[in-house]
Structure 1
Amino acid sequence: MKKAYLILFSALLTFSCSQEEKSSAVGPDGWLEGTNEEKLDEVAHQLGGFSRTMVEVSYRYSELYWAGMDENWDYADHQVEHIIEAMEDGLKRRPSRKASSESFMEETLPMMEDIIQKKDKEEFIKGFQMLTSACNACHAKEGESFIMIQTPENRTSPVRF
Protein backbone atom coordinates (compact mmCIF):
# COMPACT_ATOMS: atom_id res chain seq x y z
CA MET A 1 0.00 0.00 0.00
CA LYS A 2 2.84 2.41 0.87
CA LYS A 3 4.39 1.67 -2.50
CA ALA A 4 1.15 2.58 -4.29
CA TYR A 5 0.99 5.94 -2.43
CA LEU A 6 4.61 6.65 -3.26
CA ILE A 7 4.01 5.94 -6.94
CA LEU A 8 0.87 8.11 -6.95
CA PHE A 9 2.63 10.95 -5.10
CA SER A 10 5.60 10.74 -7.47
CA ALA A 11 3.31 10.82 -10.52
CA LEU A 12 1.38 13.84 -9.17
CA LEU A 13 4.60 15.68 -8.36
CA THR A 14 6.03 14.99 -11.81
CA PHE A 15 2.77 16.03 -13.49
CA SER A 16 2.42 19.26 -11.51
CA CYS A 17 6.06 20.27 -12.03
CA SER A 18 6.01 19.63 -15.77
CA GLN A 19 2.56 21.11 -16.35
CA GLU A 20 2.78 24.36 -18.27
CA GLU A 21 0.48 27.10 -17.12
CA LYS A 22 -2.35 27.45 -19.59
CA SER A 23 -3.31 30.90 -20.69
CA SER A 24 -7.00 31.46 -21.15
CA ALA A 25 -8.99 34.65 -21.33
CA VAL A 26 -11.56 35.29 -18.61
CA GLY A 27 -14.09 37.95 -17.77
CA PRO A 28 -16.86 39.38 -19.93
CA ASP A 29 -15.76 39.07 -23.55
CA GLY A 30 -12.43 37.61 -22.36
CA TRP A 31 -10.79 40.93 -21.54
CA LEU A 32 -8.46 39.42 -18.91
CA GLU A 33 -5.80 37.45 -20.73
CA GLY A 34 -2.41 35.91 -20.12
CA THR A 35 -0.86 33.69 -17.51
CA ASN A 36 -2.24 33.75 -13.97
CA GLU A 37 0.58 36.10 -12.97
CA GLU A 38 -0.20 38.44 -15.89
CA LYS A 39 -3.89 38.38 -14.97
CA LEU A 40 -3.12 39.25 -11.34
CA ASP A 41 -0.86 42.09 -12.49
CA GLU A 42 -3.68 43.43 -14.65
CA VAL A 43 -6.21 43.19 -11.83
CA ALA A 44 -3.78 45.07 -9.55
CA HIS A 45 -3.41 47.72 -12.25
CA GLN A 46 -7.19 47.99 -12.59
CA LEU A 47 -7.54 48.51 -8.81
CA GLY A 48 -5.13 51.39 -9.11
CA GLY A 49 -3.00 53.09 -6.55
CA PHE A 50 -3.78 55.68 -3.95
CA SER A 51 -5.32 58.20 -6.33
CA ARG A 52 -8.34 55.91 -6.78
CA THR A 53 -8.57 55.65 -3.00
CA MET A 54 -8.66 59.43 -2.82
CA VAL A 55 -11.56 59.56 -5.29
CA GLU A 56 -13.66 57.43 -2.93
CA VAL A 57 -12.47 59.28 0.17
CA SER A 58 -13.31 62.60 -1.49
CA TYR A 59 -16.87 61.45 -2.21
CA ARG A 60 -17.33 60.15 1.33
CA TYR A 61 -15.77 63.31 2.82
CA SER A 62 -18.45 65.39 1.08
CA GLU A 63 -21.21 63.01 2.11
CA LEU A 64 -19.91 63.11 5.69
CA TYR A 65 -20.12 66.89 5.71
CA TRP A 66 -23.68 67.00 4.40
CA ALA A 67 -24.75 64.22 6.75
CA GLY A 68 -23.50 66.31 9.68
CA MET A 69 -25.21 69.41 8.37
CA ASP A 70 -28.46 67.42 8.14
CA GLU A 71 -27.80 65.88 11.56
CA ASN A 72 -28.17 62.48 9.95
CA TRP A 73 -25.79 60.86 12.42
CA ASP A 74 -26.24 57.29 11.18
CA TYR A 75 -25.30 58.35 7.65
CA ALA A 76 -22.35 60.35 8.99
CA ASP A 77 -21.12 57.28 10.90
CA HIS A 78 -21.59 55.21 7.75
CA GLN A 79 -19.35 57.61 5.82
CA VAL A 80 -16.56 57.51 8.39
CA GLU A 81 -16.67 53.69 8.34
CA HIS A 82 -16.27 53.73 4.57
CA ILE A 83 -13.49 56.31 4.66
CA ILE A 84 -11.62 53.97 7.01
CA GLU A 85 -12.23 50.98 4.73
CA ALA A 86 -11.16 52.88 1.62
CA MET A 87 -8.01 54.12 3.33
CA GLU A 88 -7.13 50.65 4.64
CA ASP A 89 -7.56 49.15 1.18
CA GLY A 90 -5.53 51.95 -0.40
CA LEU A 91 -2.75 51.52 2.15
CA LYS A 92 -2.56 47.82 1.28
CA ARG A 93 -1.89 48.82 -2.32
CA ARG A 94 0.45 51.68 -1.38
CA PRO A 95 2.08 50.88 1.96
CA SER A 96 4.58 53.71 1.40
CA ARG A 97 1.73 56.12 2.29
CA LYS A 98 1.19 54.57 5.71
CA ALA A 99 3.55 56.82 7.68
CA SER A 100 1.90 59.99 6.34
CA SER A 101 -1.59 58.73 7.12
CA GLU A 102 -0.87 57.33 10.57
CA SER A 103 -2.23 60.22 12.68
CA PHE A 104 -5.19 60.58 10.32
CA MET A 105 -6.10 56.90 10.72
CA GLU A 106 -5.30 56.55 14.42
CA GLU A 107 -6.41 59.93 15.78
CA THR A 108 -8.48 62.00 13.36
CA LEU A 109 -10.97 59.39 12.18
CA PRO A 110 -11.59 57.95 15.68
CA MET A 111 -12.12 61.55 16.86
CA MET A 112 -14.78 61.98 14.15
CA GLU A 113 -16.46 58.75 15.23
CA ASP A 114 -16.60 60.03 18.81
CA ILE A 115 -18.00 63.40 17.74
CA ILE A 116 -20.69 61.76 15.63
CA GLN A 117 -21.80 59.70 18.64
CA LYS A 118 -22.43 62.95 20.54
CA LYS A 119 -24.94 64.04 17.86
CA ASP A 120 -24.01 67.70 18.33
CA LYS A 121 -23.92 69.75 15.14
CA GLU A 122 -21.67 72.51 16.52
CA GLU A 123 -19.21 69.92 17.79
CA PHE A 124 -19.38 68.20 14.39
CA ILE A 125 -18.53 71.43 12.56
CA LYS A 126 -15.42 71.93 14.71
CA GLY A 127 -14.40 68.30 14.24
CA PHE A 128 -14.95 68.50 10.51
CA GLN A 129 -12.63 71.52 10.35
CA MET A 130 -9.98 69.44 12.13
CA LEU A 131 -10.61 66.58 9.69
CA THR A 132 -10.10 68.95 6.78
CA SER A 133 -6.85 70.23 8.29
CA ALA A 134 -5.68 66.65 8.80
CA CYS A 135 -6.38 65.86 5.14
CA ASN A 136 -4.30 68.83 4.05
CA ALA A 137 -1.50 67.95 6.49
CA CYS A 138 -1.33 64.44 5.06
CA HIS A 139 -1.16 65.83 1.52
CA ALA A 140 1.68 68.12 2.58
CA LYS A 141 3.57 65.17 4.13
CA GLU A 142 3.32 63.41 0.77
CA GLY A 143 4.64 66.47 -1.10
CA GLU A 144 1.23 67.15 -2.59
CA SER A 145 0.26 70.34 -0.78
CA PHE A 146 -1.15 71.59 -4.08
CA ILE A 147 -4.12 69.32 -3.28
CA MET A 148 -5.92 71.64 -0.86
CA ILE A 149 -9.15 70.30 0.62
CA GLN A 150 -11.93 72.69 1.61
CA THR A 151 -15.34 72.32 3.17
CA PRO A 152 -17.85 71.33 0.46
CA GLU A 153 -20.01 74.15 -0.85
CA ASN A 154 -22.36 72.20 -3.12
CA ARG A 155 -24.15 68.90 -2.72
CA THR A 156 -23.67 66.44 -5.51
CA SER A 157 -25.50 63.49 -3.97
CA PRO A 158 -29.26 63.08 -3.89
CA VAL A 159 -29.11 61.64 -0.35
CA ARG A 160 -31.14 63.76 2.08
CA PHE A 161 -32.39 63.22 5.61
Structure 2
Amino acid sequence: MKKIPFLILSFFLFIACQSEEKSSAVGPDGWLEGNTEEKLDEVAHQLGGFSRTMVEVSYRYSELYWAGMDENWGYADHQVEHIIEAMEDGLKRRPVRAESSKSFMEETLPMMEEVIQKENKEEFIKGFQMLTSACNACHAKEGESFIMIQTPENRTSPVRF
Protein backbone atom coordinates (compact mmCIF):
# COMPACT_ATOMS: atom_id res chain seq x y z
CA MET A 1 0.00 0.00 0.00
CA LYS A 2 2.81 2.40 0.82
CA LYS A 3 4.53 1.67 -2.47
CA ILE A 4 1.74 3.11 -4.63
CA PRO A 5 1.97 6.75 -3.33
CA PHE A 6 5.76 6.51 -3.65
CA LEU A 7 5.45 5.27 -7.23
CA ILE A 8 2.99 8.02 -8.11
CA LEU A 9 5.24 10.67 -6.58
CA SER A 10 8.23 9.22 -8.41
CA PHE A 11 6.32 9.26 -11.70
CA PHE A 12 5.37 12.96 -11.31
CA LEU A 13 8.91 13.89 -10.32
CA PHE A 14 10.22 12.01 -13.35
CA ILE A 15 7.77 13.85 -15.64
CA ALA A 16 8.61 17.21 -14.05
CA CYS A 17 12.33 16.63 -14.49
CA GLN A 18 11.86 15.53 -18.09
CA SER A 19 9.80 18.51 -19.17
CA GLU A 20 11.85 21.15 -20.86
CA GLU A 21 11.15 24.78 -20.11
CA LYS A 22 9.83 26.62 -23.12
CA SER A 23 11.76 29.60 -24.34
CA SER A 24 9.74 32.75 -24.71
CA ALA A 25 10.47 36.40 -25.31
CA VAL A 26 9.26 39.08 -22.91
CA GLY A 27 9.63 42.81 -22.51
CA PRO A 28 8.90 45.56 -25.01
CA ASP A 29 9.39 44.12 -28.49
CA GLY A 30 10.47 40.81 -26.90
CA TRP A 31 14.06 41.85 -26.22
CA LEU A 32 14.43 39.43 -23.30
CA GLU A 33 14.60 35.94 -24.74
CA GLY A 34 15.40 32.43 -23.65
CA ASN A 35 14.52 30.21 -20.76
CA THR A 36 14.35 31.55 -17.20
CA GLU A 37 18.05 31.05 -16.53
CA GLU A 38 19.04 32.79 -19.76
CA LYS A 39 16.71 35.68 -19.00
CA LEU A 40 18.13 36.08 -15.50
CA ASP A 41 21.67 36.01 -16.89
CA GLU A 42 20.74 38.76 -19.34
CA VAL A 43 19.10 40.88 -16.62
CA ALA A 44 22.23 40.48 -14.47
CA HIS A 45 24.33 41.55 -17.45
CA GLN A 46 22.09 44.58 -18.01
CA LEU A 47 22.47 45.60 -14.35
CA GLY A 48 26.22 45.53 -14.79
CA GLY A 49 28.97 45.33 -12.27
CA PHE A 50 30.52 47.90 -10.01
CA SER A 51 31.34 50.37 -12.79
CA ARG A 52 27.63 51.12 -13.18
CA THR A 53 27.43 51.64 -9.44
CA MET A 54 30.25 54.16 -9.68
CA VAL A 55 28.38 56.11 -12.37
CA GLU A 56 25.50 56.66 -9.97
CA VAL A 57 27.78 57.34 -7.00
CA SER A 58 29.67 59.90 -9.08
CA TYR A 59 26.44 61.72 -9.90
CA ARG A 60 25.31 61.62 -6.26
CA TYR A 61 28.77 62.77 -5.09
CA SER A 62 28.53 65.88 -7.29
CA GLU A 63 24.97 66.58 -6.20
CA LEU A 64 26.04 66.17 -2.57
CA TYR A 65 28.76 68.76 -3.04
CA TRP A 66 26.48 71.34 -4.61
CA ALA A 67 23.78 70.68 -2.03
CA GLY A 68 26.30 71.49 0.69
CA MET A 69 27.47 74.60 -1.11
CA ASP A 70 23.82 75.72 -1.36
CA GLU A 71 23.27 74.72 2.29
CA ASN A 72 20.38 72.58 1.10
CA TRP A 73 20.79 70.07 3.92
CA GLY A 74 17.73 67.99 3.04
CA TYR A 75 19.03 67.47 -0.48
CA ALA A 76 22.51 66.70 0.84
CA ASP A 77 21.10 64.06 3.17
CA HIS A 78 19.07 62.66 0.27
CA GLN A 79 22.25 62.23 -1.78
CA VAL A 80 24.08 60.37 0.99
CA GLU A 81 21.10 58.03 1.38
CA HIS A 82 21.25 57.26 -2.34
CA ILE A 83 25.02 56.80 -2.31
CA ILE A 84 24.53 54.21 0.42
CA GLU A 85 21.77 52.47 -1.59
CA ALA A 86 23.83 52.44 -4.77
CA MET A 87 26.87 51.07 -2.96
CA GLU A 88 24.82 48.36 -1.22
CA ASP A 89 23.28 47.29 -4.52
CA GLY A 90 26.67 47.30 -6.23
CA LEU A 91 28.21 45.25 -3.44
CA LYS A 92 25.47 42.64 -3.87
CA ARG A 93 26.51 42.29 -7.50
CA ARG A 94 30.24 42.45 -6.73
CA PRO A 95 30.82 41.20 -3.17
CA VAL A 96 34.56 40.99 -3.90
CA ARG A 97 34.57 44.81 -3.46
CA ALA A 98 33.14 44.64 0.07
CA GLU A 99 36.44 44.46 1.96
CA SER A 100 37.95 47.56 0.37
CA SER A 101 34.72 49.55 0.80
CA LYS A 102 34.14 48.53 4.43
CA SER A 103 35.53 51.66 6.10
CA PHE A 104 33.83 53.84 3.48
CA MET A 105 30.46 52.25 4.22
CA GLU A 106 30.83 51.94 7.99
CA GLU A 107 32.75 55.10 8.84
CA THR A 108 32.91 57.66 6.04
CA LEU A 109 29.28 57.74 4.98
CA PRO A 110 27.93 57.81 8.56
CA MET A 111 30.39 60.66 9.24
CA MET A 112 28.93 62.56 6.27
CA GLU A 113 25.43 62.03 7.63
CA GLU A 114 26.54 63.49 10.97
CA VAL A 115 28.21 66.46 9.28
CA ILE A 116 25.06 67.21 7.30
CA GLN A 117 22.97 67.14 10.48
CA LYS A 118 25.10 70.01 11.84
CA GLU A 119 23.95 72.21 8.96
CA ASN A 120 27.27 74.08 8.93
CA LYS A 121 28.88 74.85 5.59
CA GLU A 122 32.46 75.00 6.91
CA GLU A 123 32.03 71.61 8.63
CA PHE A 124 30.51 70.26 5.44
CA ILE A 125 33.51 71.35 3.36
CA LYS A 126 35.88 69.56 5.76
CA GLY A 127 33.69 66.46 5.77
CA PHE A 128 33.45 66.50 1.99
CA GLN A 129 37.25 66.64 1.74
CA MET A 130 37.44 63.55 3.96
CA LEU A 131 34.80 61.86 1.78
CA THR A 132 36.87 62.62 -1.33
CA SER A 133 40.00 61.20 0.32
CA ALA A 134 38.08 58.08 1.31
CA CYS A 135 36.89 57.61 -2.30
CA ASN A 136 40.46 57.81 -3.54
CA ALA A 137 41.71 55.47 -0.81
CA CYS A 138 39.10 52.88 -1.80
CA HIS A 139 40.11 53.16 -5.44
CA ALA A 140 43.74 52.63 -4.44
CA LYS A 141 42.78 49.52 -2.44
CA GLU A 142 41.17 48.13 -5.57
CA GLY A 143 44.26 48.83 -7.67
CA GLU A 144 42.52 51.64 -9.50
CA SER A 145 44.40 54.64 -8.15
CA PHE A 146 44.32 56.10 -11.65
CA ILE A 147 40.70 57.03 -10.82
CA MET A 148 41.29 60.21 -8.81
CA ILE A 149 38.22 61.95 -7.47
CA GLN A 150 38.29 65.71 -7.03
CA THR A 151 35.87 68.32 -5.78
CA PRO A 152 33.40 69.13 -8.58
CA GLU A 153 34.10 72.33 -10.46
CA ASN A 154 31.05 72.50 -12.69
CA ARG A 155 27.45 72.00 -11.79
CA THR A 156 25.56 69.86 -14.28
CA SER A 157 22.24 69.39 -12.49
CA PRO A 158 19.47 71.96 -12.68
CA VAL A 159 18.63 71.40 -8.99
CA ARG A 160 19.05 74.63 -7.02
CA PHE A 161 18.01 75.75 -3.56
TM range (shorter): over 0.9
Distance 2:6 2:152 in 1: 69
Q: Displacement, 1:125?
A: 0.4
Amino acid at match of 2:28: P
Distance 2:5 2:83 in 1: 53
Distance 1:141 1:38 in 2: 34
Count residues in correspondence.
161
Identify the residue that residue 65 of structure 2 maps to in structure 1: 65
Q: Displacement, 1:45?
A: 0.5
| Secondary structure of 1:150's aligned partner | coil
Which of structure 1's runs of 4+ aligned residues deviate more than 6 A?
Answer: 2-8
Identify the residue that residue 101 of structure 2 maps to in structure 1: 101
Amino acid at match of 1:68: G
Identify the residue that residue 88 of structure 2 maps to in structure 1: 88
Identify the residue that residue 135 of structure 2 maps to in structure 1: 135
Deviations 1:97-124 (A, max 9, x none): 1111010000000000001111111000
Distance 1:71 1:64 in 2: 10
| Secondary structure of 2:137's aligned partner | helix
Distance 1:106 1:74 in 2: 21
Structure 2 gaps, min length 5: none
Distance 1:3 1:140 in 2: 64
Structure 1 gaps, min length 5: none
Please give the TM-score of this superposition, normalised by the length of structure 1.
0.93
Q: Displacement, 1:18?
A: 1.7
